[in-house]
Structure 1
Amino acid sequence: MKIRVIIACMVLISGLAGAQDKPDALKLYRNGRDLDAIGRTEDARAMYQQSIDVCMLDLSANPKNMDAYTVRGWALIRLEKYQETVDVCLEALKISSDYRIVETLGEAYFYQGNYKDSLKNMEKYIDAAPRGERISTAYFFVGEIYRITKQMNRAEIAYSAAVYLEPSISLWWFRLGGVRESVGDKQWAIEAYQRALKLRPDYKPASEALSRLRA
């Protein structure tokens, strides 16, 4: 009896050790994102590829693993493999209408210049996950689409939502300043440009915009 207990414990410990040694796709993806942030682009790309490789292993074990599909899509976006991202997302959505996949698909379509389908998916994500992890990013992409398609009032609303939800990104404030300036809202444009500069004092386009408006 004691021998059986000892063997069972050894098997359990071995299994736990194996689980701990298994690479974590999400952790690898986040490591890549951190490397990107400090300019180590090639190291970041290698990390994203490792993340994808782990996701593929996870999917071979469980073809309905939506977490693996999600992280794989995020990593593919970072590697600028947009058509592959679209294909992966469409494959995943046949299994489940996972809102994370919907948002990733919207991003991939955006980078392909397919603004119609990008907007459709971003709005679907916003409706399905108003408190989702990437809700602020979704609003930013909606703002980008409306800005590019010259619908400035709608772009201003979307950018405003983005900076309200995530006020620490200078580019987003700069974009908001730009659309406010384009519709003649000078004072509020100045405020947005100032917020961009407060976050990033060396942001030359924002300082140039302020000089232009104050001239």
Structure 2
Amino acid sequence: MRIHPALFCIVFLLVVDPVFSQTGQDSRQGSARPDALRSYRIGRDLEARDRMDEANQYYNEAAQICMDEITRNSANMDSYTVLTWTLQRQRKYSDVITWGERGLRINANDYRIVETMGEAYFYLDRFEDSLRSMQRYVNFVPQGERTSVAYFFVGEIFRLQGKFHRADIAYTTAVRLDPGSALWWYRLGSVRESAGEFSPAMEAYQRALRLNPNYREANEGLERSRRSST
């Protein structure tokens, strides 16, 4: 089952990418390394403004810089990280896995790459691999920059598998960590509604509508849940 491409953009923009220096890895690289990150960020900002053709120019530049760095120093984990981020934004999910696996052979505990691969596995419909990656990420960094996103993807997988109570737990954790996404509250409402939990579903839909009063699907879910609860 495929997910609408718009979901990718929504999710990825919800959380700013982790602070690049927080791992302390490869902090003494030459001038090319920050250029890759800069090109990636420029591309991301252009993408957010729906200027994807221009964004791809910067993404391609970032990817090439990273590959050149890896050629010079195959143990540079920062290069693998920016490269997988860049490929992810371009929806080159198979390439994310290829380069991510290569990086993890050098450092199996680089959680930045683990989480990015978890998202790529999701979009490739490799749900069990995605779950394993997201669980590893959460275990590594329970307070990490993208922990809420990891729980959201876990919720997505369980929702698509019809495991609504498990999805409820995952989405609930995601919105507890980051309560500012109308989409996430809507998803929580939808799995509660599917499980027959109509009052909790209404609460989640209402939270989604407080964040986005024009959220048609959330409003429709709220009305359905109201009718079903009577």
TM-score range, shorter chain: 0.7 to 0.9
Count of residue pairs the alignment pairs up: 197
Looking at structure 1, the residues matched to 190 and 100 of structure 2 have their Cα atoms a distance apart, in angstroms, of: 32
Structure 2 residue 197 is the aligned partner of structure 1 residue 176 = no
Regions of 4+ moved over 4 Å? none
Offset at 1:22? Answer: 7.2
3-state SS of 2:106 partner? coil
Relative to the length of structure 1, the TM-score reads 0.85
**Structure 2: 5+ residue stretches without partners:** 1-29
1:16-55 correspondence runs (5 A): 19=31, 24-55=35-66
Which one-letter code corresponds to 1:185 in the other structure? E
Structure 2 residue 111 is the aligned partner of structure 1 residue 86 = no
Q: Which structure has more RCO (C-alpha within 8 Å, separation ≥ 6)?
A: 2
Looking at structure 2, the residues matched to 22 and 75 of structure 1 have their Cα atoms a distance apart, in angstroms, of: 14
Match of 2:118 in 1: 106
Kept in 1, the 8 Å contact 2:172–2:188? The answer is yes
Structure 2 residue 63 is the aligned partner of structure 1 residue 59 = no
Relative to the length of structure 2, the TM-score reads 0.80
Structure 2 residue 205 is the aligned partner of structure 1 residue 193 = yes
Looking at structure 2, the residues matched to 173 and 25 of structure 1 have their Cα atoms a distance apart, in angstroms, of: 35
Q: Deviations over 1:63-107 (max 9, x none)?
A: 111111011101111111111111101111110011111111111
Structure 2 residue 222 is the aligned partner of structure 1 residue 210 = yes
Kept in 2, the 8 Å contact 1:176–1:189? The answer is yes
Match of 1:68 in 2: 79
Match of 2:147 in 1: 135
**Structure 1: 5+ residue stretches without partners:** 1-17
Offset at 1:111? Answer: 0.7
Identity of aligned residues (%): 50
